[in-house]
Amino acid sequence: MKKELLTNLTETEAKKKLRSNLGSHITCPKCQRKNYVRRMKGKDTRYHCTECRHKFSLKSVIGFEGSHLNYTQIYRVLYCFGNNKTHKDVMDWTGVSYTTSRFNYQRIRNKLELSLNTDKLSGIFACDECFVGKRKTGNQALVMGAVDATFSDLRLSVIPDREQDSIEGFIDTHINTDSLIISDGLPSYGGLEYMGYAHDNEVHAKGQFEKTVPIERVWGLFKTFLRRNYHHINKETLPEYLVEFQFKFIHRKYRHNPLYIGKILINPVPRS
């Protein structure tokens, strides 16, 4: 989508595009029930749930409840978010302030977190840890990740250290025991076979890197994502950016379309 198309997008067109994602089954933001939401009659463009009698607008459904942005601006924000545009780009395209841009990106991340599948995965997974941030400034955190062999699914989480309990806790949370775990030579992975996992490792000190290439690619993509889009983040907010990166990694074929993001925001997959 070119910038000119967004520039000429009217309020009515933007609202119509976003509303097209609603479909026939809308989830009530209060009671989380489907099949009970109806559009109100007359000039009132809101929706109401016949089960809990809650009234809500399209903005609240996509995570922009109480926002002063019009629908054209919201559509542009969704486009910028999906296409890894910086806050400066959002400011140029929507006319909002830097603070407003950051706030709305955070809104989207909070809503997208509900769409991430938390079921345990099975298959072949490359696992590794990565330090994010600088230790000398006290702004460093340790992230652990697991990516499948097809490079289509990803799990990321902040862990306290590289000890065996932390490593095994992450793997036990996200991966079924019928899976093969590929790691480096860190001793903390040594007990995986006792837990029921198949385990293979590479010793990087001996020049063995072939099997762990997928997760190393993930770290390269993640650090590039942070540097180009946000330049600097605090370790306290790192989990939010892990959610954003994980979503964009899994949905990388469709995330460029603001309507695709809007559709997920409207009906996110509940946490399992």
- 134 and 165 share a domain? yes
Residue 227 lies in a domain: yes
- Residue 60 CB neighbour total at 10 angstroms: 17
Residue 77 lies in a domain: yes
Residue 185 CB contacts under 8 Å (≥ 6 apart), including other chains: 201, 202, 203, 204, 205
pLDDT grade for 191, boundaries at 50, 70 and 90: very high
Assigned token pair, 41: 């009659």
Within-domain flag for 248: no
Confidence at residue 255, expressed as pLDDT on a 0 to 100 scale = 87
Residue 267: which of 81, 23, 39, 64 has the closest Cα? 23
How many domains does the chain contain in total? 2
Within a domain: 142: yes
How would residue 40 be classed by pLDDT, with cut points 50, 70 and 90?
confident
pLDDT, residue 271, reads: 43
Domain match, 180 and 209 both: yes
**pLDDT, tens digit (0-9, with 9 covering 90-100), for 105-142:** 999 999 898 888 889 999 999 999 999 999 999 999 99
pLDDT mean across residues, the chain: 88
Full residue range of the structural domain in which residue 261 is found: 3-115+254-266
pLDDT score for 150: 92
Residue type present at position 159: I
In which band, very low, low, confident or very high, does the pLDDT at 263 lie, cut at 50, 70 and 90? confident
Higher pLDDT, 210 or 178: 178
Please tell me whether residues 28 and 111 are part of one structural domain.
Answer: yes
Query: Considering the chain, what percentage of its residues have pLDDT values greater than 70?
Result: 93
134 and 56 part of one domain: no
Q: Are residues 26 and 100 both part of a single domain? A: yes
63-91 average pLDDT score? 92
Same domain, 185 and 143: yes
Of 24-38, 117-131, 155-169, the poorest mean pLDDT is in 24-38
Distance CA 128, CA 145 (A): 6
Q: What percent of the chain has a predicted confidence (pLDDT) above 90?
A: 57
Whether residues 11 and 37 fall in one domain: yes
208: CATH = 3.30.420.10
Please tell me the predicted confidence (pLDDT) of residue 19: 81
What's this model's pTM, rounded to 2 decimal places? Answer: 0.87
The answer as to whether 249 is a domain residue is no
Q: Is residue 244 in some structural domain?
A: no
Answer yes or no: is 247 within a domain: no
Same domain, 155 and 217: yes
Q: Are residues 11 and 111 in the same domain?
A: yes
Q: Are residues 165 and 210 in the same domain?
A: yes
Asked if the structure places residue 146 within a domain, the reply is yes
Residues whose CB is less than 8 angstroms from the CB of residue 220 and which lie 6 or more positions away in sequence, other chains included: none
SS (H, E, C) 143-189: EEEEEECCCCCEEEEEECCCCHHHHHHHHHHHECCCCEEEECCCHHH
Q: Tell me: do 18 and 39 sit in the same domain.
A: yes
Say yes or no: 58 and 129 in one domain. no
With cut-offs at 50, 70 and 90, classify the pLDDT of residue 9. Answer: confident
